[in-house]
Copies of this chain bind each other. A is one copy, B any other.
Amino acid sequence: MADIAAANREALDRLCRARPAWTAVRSGREALGLEGRTLLHAGPPIEWARMCWPMRGAVKAAALFEGWARTADEAEALAASGDIAFAPCHSRGAVGPMAGVISPGTPLLVVEDAVNRTTASSFIADGPWGHQLRFGAHGPETLNGLRWIRDAVAPALSAVLEREGPIDLAALMAQAFTMGDEMHMRNAAATGLLARRLAAPLVAAVPDAARLEPIMRLVTRDNDQFFLAWSMCAAKAAARSIEGLEASTVVCTMARNGVEFGIRVAGLGEPWFTAPASVVEGVYFPGSAAGDANLDTGDSAIMETYGLGGLAMASSPAVQKIVGAKSWEDALATTRDMGEICVGRNPLFPIAVLGGEGTPTGIDIRRVVKTSIVPKITTAIAHRAAPRMIGAGIATAPMAPFVAALRAFAERYGAARA
Contact = CB atoms under 8 A, between A and B. Distances in A.
Nearest to A217: B200
Given A179-B189, A191-B196, A193-B192, A212 B203 contact: yes
A55 interface: no
A318 B351 CA distance: 11
A303 interface: no
A339 B371 CA distance: 41
A412 interface: no
Residue with the greatest number of chain B CB neighbours at <10 A, chosen from A178, A207, A328: A178
B180 A200 contact: no
Contacts of A189: 179, 189, 192
A199 B220 contact: yes
A197 interface: yes
Interface in A202-232: 203-204, 207-209, 212-213, 216-217, 219-221
Top 5 nearest A-B pairs (CB, nearest first) are A192-B192, A317-B352, A207-B209, A200-B217, A199-B220
B204 A213 contact: yes
Interface string A147-190: 00000000000000000000000000001001110000000110
7 contacts: A179-B180, A189-B192, A195-B196, A209-B209, A328-B352, A328-B353, A328-B356
Residue with the greatest number of chain B CB neighbours at <10 A, chosen from A180, A199, A318, A352: A199
B220 A178 contact: no
Interface string A336-353: 000000000000000011
Contacts of A199: 195, 199, 216, 219-221
Given A189-B189, A192-B189, A200 B213 contact: yes
Contacts of A67: none
Residue with the greatest number of chain B CB neighbours at <10 A, chosen from A188, A191, A320: A188
A145 B219 CA distance: 28
A410 B180 CA distance: 45
A171 to B, nearest CB: 13
Contacts of A318: 178-179
B178 A178 contact: no
Contact of A179 (B179, B200, B207): B179
